[in-house]
Amino acid sequence: MSLIEIKNLKYRYPGAAELALNDVSLNIEKGEFIGIAGENGAGKSSLSQALLGLIPQFYKGAYGGSVAIAGLDTKTAPVSEICKKAGLVFQNPFNQLSGAKDKVYDEVGYGLQNFGMEPSIIHSRIKEVLTQLGIWEYRDRNPFDLSGGQLQRVAIASVLAMNPDILILDEPTSQLDPVGSEEVFHTVDELTKTGITIIMIEQKVEKLAEYCDKIALLHKGHLIAYDTPGAIFSRDDLLELGVSTPAFTTFAKKNDLKLPNGNYPVTISELTGLIRATGIDVKPLLYSLNTPNGKTSSEEVLSDAPDANFKISDLHFSYVPGRELFKGINLTLDNRPTAIIGQNGAGKTTLVRILKGLLKPTSGNLMFRNQNIASKTVAELARAVGYVFQNPDDQIFKYKVLDEVMFGPLNIGMSQKDAEKSSRAALELVGLTDAADKNPYDLELSDRKMVAIASVLAMNTDVIILDEPTIAQDYKGREKIKEIIRSESQKGKLVIAILHDMDFVAEAFSRVIVMAQGEILDDGIPAEIFAHSDILEKAALAPPHLMALKEALIK
């Protein structure tokens, strides 16, 4: 008997017309590392919830088929029993805290207390998992004070403390920065050695390819395939299914590099191994890597860059008097779409908030199109500079998507008619024309993010600032955002984005600014910036996957 047996599982959420899971059958053996891939709405999270019995015990609705976990029928066994066998870690680390404990140590012990375990056993278990995950030093901290990556590790520790046979991770890094994600992936990597069965839902396909024994590919509730990463990512229909291919596989496909078993390589080591084994000439391969964006030199890009938008000179800023974050920044922003990259705490958000007028510089000059804006209020600047916040739920308050999008345009004095016209155009651009009359809260997070973007686009500002637009987006969402950046740029608008996703930066932007500790370390076109490995290292950034490949090939 397999550890997990799913037979003809069907499920429909109450009030929904479509099945969220449609006749899914698969078996998972003990000790396997299973990935689940699919676009948003494919049924990935529903599947993970069915494994724990949350579907159908917590979420009602129509349910058919069966799921058995270590012999427990998840339809009838109490969730409090099932969760001794299988633990669930979900996307947002903040929402999975118990909310009742003010120390990391106590938070990790919370589940065991509920099971009525002996306190002495709980204490030793807490110590064991905190040490195992490298967060013993945080034991006395308040969980709410930790960064996302630290907190997600606390969440994993809290689940592991209950000693489950199975660990289910539902996009555990989708809301984390690269360092935070790396912390979590490293943790997961370490765990695989302990023999625990891991099921991971993930959009970062390179990670799935690296870790998984097998991948379950879902689309619209159907299980399309259940196979090795090599077989899954060699499929030709992945893009239609809304799943991207690992950068290395795309590269291999383009250059027709196949493994002896007929699959394409999916990891960097497989790919470089193959290239070395077959003895192919590396030069043409390197050449094909050298043309991201289709643009090769800085002059070419600069030539179509008109006059300066923002002119910042000798900008100083500090949150706490006496501790300066910006010690005299000088920067000119023209019309090229610009990405700002750097670690958390590097000052990226602070910089764009100053551009937007949400923060006031302590001293220095801040000009926007030859006007001094240092003293203007945020609302006054609203017409010129638009800013899309990271979390759409911080701004959504209307019951209709269209009304939500029209809020900004009406605030800056557009007439009802113009506001509606502009809002509908913005909704079309983000691909939500059909959702105009829906309640924003009925949409998925990825679509709510699009609503937030549309609500700023509709204001028709000269500058658009995007804070982490790709978080929570799947392949199609990312492509959509790329398209928005391109079309807004073509309209002569300046698009500035803070991003952690280096592959996206390399594909969508013509200028990259690297920040660390309140300073600008580097500034140029992506191909140049990502070749400066010393600076990237200093800013604790990883180059895009293809740049890493290039380095490996040169060696």
Partner 1 sequence: MKSISLYTDNGSWLVKLHPFTKLFYLLAVILIPLIAGHLYMFGLTILISTLSLLSAGMLKKALPLIAFSFTILLTIFIIQGIFYKGNVSVLLSLGPVSFYKEGLLYSSQIGLNVLNMLLSFAILVLSTSPSELVEELEKKGFSTKFGYILNSVFQIIPEMMGTMHTISDAQRSRGMETEGKLITRIKAFIPLISPVVMSALTSTRERAIALEVRGFGAKVRKTYLYSHPYTATDQIIKWISLLSIVIVIALRVMHIF
- Contact residues for partner 1 (CB under 8 A)? 49, 52, 54, 58, 78-80, 83-84, 87-88, 90, 92, 94-102, 106, 109-119, 122-123, 142, 144-145, 158-159, 162, 353, 356, 358, 377-379, 382-383, 386-387, 389, 391, 393-397, 407-408, 411-412, 441, 455-456, 459
Of 70 and 259, nearer to partner 1 (C-beta) is 70
Q: Cβ closer to partner 1: 7 or 103?
A: 103
Tell me the C-alpha distance between 198 and 201, whole Å.
10
Q: Which is nearer to partner 1, 123 or 369 (CB)?
A: 123
Sign of CA dihedral 409, 495, 536, 315: negative
Q: Residue with structure tokens 């955002």? A: 481
Neighbours of 289 (CB within 10 A): 17
What does the angle CA 220 – CA 505 – CA 475 come to, to the nearest 5 degrees? 5
Nearer to partner 1, 48 or 245 (CB): 48
Please, which residue, 75 or 476, has the CB nearer to partner 1? 75
Shortest distance in whole angstroms from residue 275 CB to partner 1: 45
The C-alpha angle with vertex 460 and arms to 454 and 465, in degrees rounded to 5, equals 65
Instruction: Give the residue with the Cβ less far from partner 1, 462 or 551.
Output: 462
Which residues have a Cβ under 8 Å from the Cβ of 112 and sit 6 or more positions away?
Answer: 121, 122, 125, 126, 161, 162
Q: How many residues does the chain have?
A: 555
Q: How far is the CB of 528 from partner 1 (least distance, A)?
A: 32
User: Minimum distance from CB of 96 to partner 1 (Å)?
Assistant: 4
* Helix, strand, coil abundance in the chain, percent, nearest 5: 40, 20, 35
CB of 394 to partner 1, least distance (A): 5
Closer CB to partner 1, residue 387 or residue 530? 387
Which among 356, 364, 310 has a CA at the least distance from the CA of 336? 310
CB of 162 to partner 1, least distance (A): 7
Q: Write down the least CB distance from residue 518 to partner 1, Å.
A: 20
CB atoms closer than 10 angstroms to residue 260: 8
Q: Which is nearer to partner 1, 247 or 340 (CB)?
A: 340
Q: Which is nearer to partner 1, 142 or 415 (CB)?
A: 142
Between residues 288 and 411, which has the closer beta carbon with respect to partner 1? 411
CB of 443 to partner 1, least distance (A): 12
The smaller minimum CB distance to partner 1, of residues 320 and 554, is found at 320
Residue nearer to partner 1 on the CB measure, 9 or 355 = 355
> What's the min distance (Å) between Cβ of 482 and partner 1?
23
Nearest distance from C-beta of residue 155 to partner 1, angstroms = 9
| Cβ 414 to partner 1 shortest distance, Å | 10
The Cα–Cα gap between 128 and 513 comes to 42
CA 440/CA 451 separation, integer angstroms = 8
Phi and psi at 286, nearest 5°, equal -60, -40
Using only C-alpha atoms, what is the Rg of the chain? 25
d(CA 194, CA 176) in angstroms, rounded, equals: 25
Q: How far is the CB of 115 from partner 1 (least distance, A)?
A: 5
CB of 167 to partner 1, least distance (A): 12
**Among residues 28 and 88, whose Cβ is nearest to partner 1?**
88
Q: Shortest gap between Cβ of 168 and partner 1 (angstroms)?
A: 9
Tell me how far apart the alpha carbons of residues 44 and 221 are, in angstroms, rounded to a whole number.
Answer: 8
Distance (Å, rounded) from C-alpha 19 to C-alpha 13?
7
Q: Which is nearer to partner 1, 116 or 306 (CB)?
A: 116
Structural element, H or E, at residue 476? helix 475-490
CB of 417 to partner 1, least distance (A): 18
Give the residue from 514, 512, 464 showing the smallest Cα distance to 485.
464
CA distances (Å), 16 to each of 13, 19, 61, 255, in order? 5, 8, 9, 44
Question: How, if at all, do strands 214-219 and 463-467 pair?
Answer: unpaired
Rounded to whole angstroms, the Cα distance separating 16 from 43 reads 13
Residue 238 CA, chain-centre distance (Å), reads: 19
Q: Where are the beta strands (DSSP E) in 21-119?
A: 21-28, 33-37, 62-69, 72-73, 86-89
466 within 8 A of 508, measured Cβ to Cβ:
no
What one-character-per-residue DSSP string does 110-129 give? HHHHHTT--HHHHHHHHHHH
